[in-house]
Amino acid sequence: MASLDKKIKIGERTIGDGKQTFVIAEMSGNHGGSIERALDIIRAAKRAGADAIKLQTYTADTITLKSNLEDFVIPKGSPWEEYSTLWDLYNKAFTPWEWHKKLFLEARGLGIEIFSSPFDESAVDFLEDLNVSAYKIASPEITHIPLITKIAQTRKPVIISTGIADLSDINLALSTLKAHGSKDIILLKCSTSYPAPIEESNLLTIPDMVDKFGCLSGLSDHTKGSLAAITSVALGATVIEKHFTLDKLATTVDSFFSLSEEEFSAMVKDIRLVEKSLGKVNYDITESAKLNLYGRRSIYVSSKIKKGGILTKSNIKVVRPSFGLHPKYYTEVLGRFANQDLSPGERLTWDVLDDHSNTLNDI
């Protein structure tokens, strides 16, 4: 498994190999236009064990044009086609900027990290005024070079999704970030499909990103459930991002592929168990396993042997438990003489044998 000896700090959390996976709850548009619901999502994410809550900072006008022309119409088959145009969708889903300060205060008061994905340069200026601790570059913005340049100039940690990027897009984004001051970069494997087919997850890309780009890596997961997210931790993911909703029955723009509080909590618990199971490279017998050493075999007396009798295949046997001589001595003790009477079930030890062996040690 690939690893990188690099640590990145976001708020009070340190991210990197050997540290706990940084688990992000993505609010997106699951607030449904209610600030109280947005606040409740932050509280629920904290209860569920999330390390961070992430917002999206845009308005319909900062992300697209208000147009009914064909280019701006949501294509048929999209899960959001009911909203007709891009502007209508984003106008429904956006998080009002006037909410941000209150949401930031709530999260910080609860001790959960909070940051955002800005979708244009004005959003970066706005988030800087809130002293945001990190920036997330959403998959569709990976080619938005003016935005990436602006983010890099803040010198803040950057998490970047690669859901609709090829190698050249990733390389361009990374070179832009580094050229303008970014040093702390985390790449997320992502499939920008809603929900994403699990067979398109290609989680083996996560350790390859570490090797290829020299960055910490993780997963922005849009699959249903949490299997892909949990599996990615075993492959070295240092960051996991999943969409979070209060109530999957209450329809919001992203609720259909988001996790509920109960599901998110179960995912976090499983991630923490995976982290414990990974442990370290260790060939020693573990402390708990030592209790079962009796399950190994050793040499025991299987039939009565009188003093001076010869040890043969018919009166000694390699059996469980492991308190007698090691099985590796089996052929060596065959033909040896007993220096005392031995009964079935007695451990064979060196001190019950004469020093001299019989020449017929293959009896």
The DSSP result for 314-354, as a single string, is TTEEEESSSSSB-GGGHHHHTTEEESS-B-TTPBP-GGGEE
Quickly state the pLDDT bin for 62 (edges 50, 70, 90). very high
Residues forming CATH 3.90.1210.10 domain(s) in the chain: 289-357
Distance CA 42, CA 261 (A): 11
For 336-351, the pLDDT digits (tens) are: 999 999 999 999 999 9
CATH architecture of 12-58+94-278: Alpha-Beta Barrel (3.20)
Count of CA atoms in the C-beta half-sphere (13 A) of 159: 29
For 259-301, the pLDDT digits (tens) are: 999 999 999 999 999 999 998 889 998 888 888 988 999 999 9
Query: What pTM, to 2 d.p., does this model score?
Result: 0.88
pLDDT computed for residue 125 by the predictor: 98
- Is the per-residue pLDDT at 305 higher than 50? yes
Indicate the class that CATH gives domain 289-357.
alpha beta
3-state secondary structure 171-214: HHHHHHHHHCCCCCEEEEEECCCCCCCHHHCCCCHHHHHHHHHC
- Is the per-residue pLDDT at 165 higher than 50? yes
Residues forming CATH 3.20.20.70 domain(s) in the chain: 12-58+94-278
CA 327 to chain centre: 43
Q: Which helix (H) or strand (E) holds 300?
A: strand 298-301
3-state secondary structure of 267: helix
φ/ψ of 317, rounded to 5, equals: -155, 145
Quickly state the pLDDT bin for 363 (edges 50, 70, 90). very low
- Is the per-residue pLDDT at 362 higher than 80? no
Instruction: Cite the DSSP H helix spans in 217-352.
Output: 227-234, 261-278, 287-290, 330-333
Distance CA 247, CA 253 (A): 12
Distance CA 56, CA 62 (A): 12
Distance CA 338, CA 347 (A): 12
First to last CA, the chain: 51
Quickly state the pLDDT bin for 109 (edges 50, 70, 90). very high
Neighbours of 317 (CB within 10 A): 17
The strand pairing partners of 319, in sequence order, are 298
